[in-house]
Amino acid sequence: MDLVTQNLVAAFKAEESLPKKTDDATVLEHFVNYCAVSNEYGEEFDVGDLYTGGGDDLGIDGVAVIVNGTLVLDEEEVQDLVSTNKYLEVNLVFCQSKSGGFSGDEISNTFFGLKDLLSVKPSMTRNSRIAEKERLIKFIYGQSALFKRGNPSVKIYYATTGKWQEDPKLVKRIDVERDGLMDLDIFESVEFIPVDAKTLQRLYSNAKNRFSKSIEFASKITLPALPGIQESYLGYLPSEEFMKLISDDSGNMLKGLFYDNVRDFQGDNDVNMEIEKTLEDEARRLFVLMNNGVTVVADSIQKTGDNFTLEGYQVVNGCQTSNVLFRNKNKLEKVQIPFKLIVSQDGAVKNKIIKATNRQTMVKPEELTSLTDFQKSLEDYYEAGDGDSQLYYERRSQQFRATTGIEKIRIVTIANQIRAFASMFLAVPHQASRYYGSLLKSIESRIFVADHPPVAYYASALALYRLESLFRRKGLDTKYRPFKYHLLPVARFIIAGETTERMNSNKFEKYCERVATAFKDDKIATTVFSKAAGALDSVLCGNYERDKAKDAALFTAAIASLKRSEARDAI
C-alpha cells in the first residue's frame, strides 16, 4: 500500500473508532466500503452496516441496498418507503477489496458469488451478514410489481492497492462476466468499477468534502441589500444546470440537500403526479410559469460572470419539485425552473426563509418548528459539551463531514436523534429501525416539542454513542446490535427507574440529567449495558435474529425480568 493511501486508511480507522487490534485487511475492506458507498449515497451511514467480509462471504466484502435514495437495512424500511412513495427504485452496490493487483480469477470469483447470492437454488455457504443482505434483496424482488422505472441497477466496486491499466484481456473477461449477470434478466444495468490506489484516494477526498457545485445562472436579477443576507438572486435555471445542482458526480440525487427542508419526498401523490404530467408533453415549456420553483440557501458563493460556485448549500423549499424533476430528467428538454438563490450564514435568517417559503404550501406549523427553531436549540446545546462526552449534532447533512479528527460515532444525525429519543423516552424501540421519515410521522406530536428539555435528547444520543463504542471495541457481543434500540430504554430504567413525569416538567429534566450523568462515565455505561443485555437474554431465549427486534412486547418483558431479578435480590 502506498504512503498516501496508508495515511488515509489510518485516519479513517481513527474516525470510525475501529478497534486497534483490527487487522489491516479488514480495515481496508471497511475503507473501500465507505469510499464506494459514499460515491453512491450522500448521507451519513454506519460502515458496520455494510460489512459482509470474513469467511463464506461469496467474494463480497460490502453490500449497500439503496431504495428510493435511502440506504435500507431491513424489510420494514422498504415497506415504509413503499407506503410513502408507491414505487421502488433500487440500486445495489457490491464491494470487494484485495491487496496487490487486479486478478482475473479473483474478479470472476466475485461475479460467481453475486450470481449465487441471487440464485433461486444457491450452491455456496454464506455467512450470517451475507445471508441477511440476501433476504433483504430477495424481499425487494418480491415487490417487483413496484419497479415502475426498471429493475434494480448494480454497481460493483472492485478495489486493489495496485494500478488499473486497462489490460485488454482483463477488460474482455470483465465484459463477459458482466454480460453473464445481465443474462439473468433481473437487472436494469450492471457496472463494474475498477478502483486502484489513485481512484481510492479520489473517492475518499470526495466523500470528505462539503457540497460544492458550479452552475451557469444567466437569467437572473440581483435583489437589493437585505439584513442578514450577503447576496440574493431571483431568476430561472435551464433544467441541465439545475440537474448539476442536485446530482452527484455519479448521477445520483443528493438527498442530503433537503435536510433543512420540512418534508420528505411524498412520492406519487396528486400534486407530484400533476407536476410529472406537465413534463410529458409540450406543456413542459410552461413549467416556469406553472411551478413555484426552488429556493436554495448557500453559506457562500463565488462568481465569475454568470458562473456561480455554491458552497455549503441546501434546498430549503422545492423538495417535491426537485424529486419529480430528477425522476424525469430524460424529459426535461426546454424546461426552465424558477430559482431563488440566497447567500447567508445567519441561522435565524435561514429559519425565517424556511418558514416563509414553506407556509405557502400545506405544511403544519409544528413541522416547521421541528426542523427549524428546536433543531437550532439542540445544536446549541450539543455545542456546549466537552471532553469524552462531547457529541456533535448534525442539523444539516454533512455538516461535520469535512471536519477532521471527529469520531464518526460522535456525530448525531437527525435520523439517529429521532430513533434514540423515540426508543429511550417514548418506549417504541421496536419501531426505531423503520425508515426514519415514517417513524417521525408516527410520533410527530411527541418529539421536538418546544418545551422539551434538550438534555433528554442529548442523554438518549449519548447512550447510543456509548453503545456503538462498546460494539466497535467488542466490549459487547455484536449479536445484540439488532437490539440496540431496546437496550437504550432498558439501560435508562437500570439507571433511573421508571418515570411518569410530564416531559416539560422540571422533575423530568432532572431525571434526564441523572441519566446523562451516568452515561458520561464510560465504565458506568459499560456496566449498565451489560446488565441490560442480560435482561434481553432472559426473554430472547437464544433467538437473536433481527426479526425479534420488531416485537413490541420485548422491551416491557425485559423490564419485567429486571424487576423480578431485583425482587429476588431484595429477599
Q: 77-91, 168-182, 224-238, 362-376: lowest mean pLDDT where?
A: 362-376
Query: Hey, what amino acid is at 523?
Result: K
Sorted by sequence, the CB contacts under 8 Å of residue 25 that are 6+ apart come out as 99
H/E run at residue 202? helix 197-208
Across-strand partners of 338? 236
Is the pLDDT at 262 greater than 50, yes or no?
no
CA distance 404 to 136: 34
- 299 versus 135: the higher-pLDDT residue is 135
Is the pLDDT at 568 greater than 70, yes or no?
no
pLDDT at 366: 46
Q: 27-31, 246-250, 491-495: lowest mean pLDDT where?
A: 246-250
Dihedral sign computed on CA atoms, order 240, 242, 247, 252: negative
The answer to whether 155 touches 191, Cβ cutoff 8 Å, is yes
Is the pLDDT at 176 greater than 90, yes or no?
yes
CA distance 464 to 412: 9
Quickly state the pLDDT bin for 571 (edges 50, 70, 90): low
User: What is the average pLDDT across 204-217?
Assistant: 82
User: What is the average pLDDT across 247-265?
Assistant: 70
The answer to whether 61 touches 95, Cβ cutoff 8 Å, is yes
pLDDT at 148: 84
365: helix, strand or coil = helix
- 76 versus 272: the higher-pLDDT residue is 76
Quickly state the pLDDT bin for 265 (edges 50, 70, 90): low
CA distance 259 to 244: 18
Is the pLDDT at 452 greater than 90, yes or no?
yes
- Could you tell me the CA-to-CA distances from 535 to 155, 191, 316, 422 in Å, in that order? 42, 46, 44, 20
Lookup: cell for 268: 406519487
138-164 pLDDT, tens digit per residue, is 999 999 999 988 999 999 999 998 899
For cell 470469483, what's the residue? 109
pLDDT at 270: 72
The answer to whether 263 touches 319, Cβ cutoff 8 Å, is yes
Secondary structure letter of residue 118 according to DSSP: T
User: What is the average pLDDT across 360-389?
Assistant: 71
Secondary structure letter of residue 299 according to DSSP: E
User: What is the average pLDDT across 533-559?
Assistant: 92
Task: State which of 16-20, 274-278, 466-470 shows the largest mean pLDDT.
Answer: 466-470
Residue 224: Cβ within 10 Å count? 6
What residue ranges in 52-174 does DSSP mark as E strands? 62-67, 70-72, 90-98, 153-160
User: What is the average pLDDT across 363-385?
Assistant: 71
Residue 36: name the closest of 1, 67, 61 by CA: 61
Is the pLDDT at 424 greater than 90, yes or no?
yes
User: What is the average pLDDT across 99-120?
Assistant: 92
Is the pLDDT at 193 greater than 90, yes or no?
yes
What percent of the chain is modeled with pLDDT above 90?
A: 61
Residue 129: name the closest of 60, 29, 45 by CA: 60
- 364 versus 410: the higher-pLDDT residue is 410
CA distance 547 to 564: 26
Query: Hey, what amino acid is at 160?
Result: T
Is the pLDDT at 404 greater than 80, yes or no?
no
Three-class SS string for 370-422? HCCHHHHHHHHHHHCCCHHHCCEEECCCCCCCCCCCCCHHHEEEHHHHHHHHH
Dihedral sign computed on CA atoms, order 551, 553, 559, 563: negative
Quickly state the pLDDT bin for 475 (edges 50, 70, 90): very high
- Could you tell me the CA-to-CA distances from 532 to 189, 488, 523, 558 in Å, in that order? 46, 8, 14, 8
19-41 pLDDT, tens digit per residue, is 888 999 999 999 999 999 998 88
Sorted by sequence, the CB contacts under 8 Å of residue 309 that are 6+ apart come out as 212, 213, 214, 301, 302, 303
Quickly state the pLDDT bin for 42 (edges 50, 70, 90): confident
The answer to whether 62 touches 36, Cβ cutoff 8 Å, is yes
- Could you tell me the CA-to-CA distances from 525 to 209, 218, 561 in Å, in that order? 34, 57, 20
User: What is the average pLDDT across 126-145?
Assistant: 95
Name the phi and psi angles at 299, rounded to 5.
-70, -35
User: What is the average pLDDT across 449-456?
Assistant: 93
CA distance 463 to 458: 8
H/E run at residue 310? strand 307-317
CA distance 314 to 292: 17
Q: What residues does each domain of the chain span?
A: 3-208, 212-363, 373-570
Longest Cα–Cα distance in the chain: 82
Quickly state the pLDDT bin for 100 (edges 50, 70, 90): confident
Mean pLDDT of all residues in the chain? Answer: 89
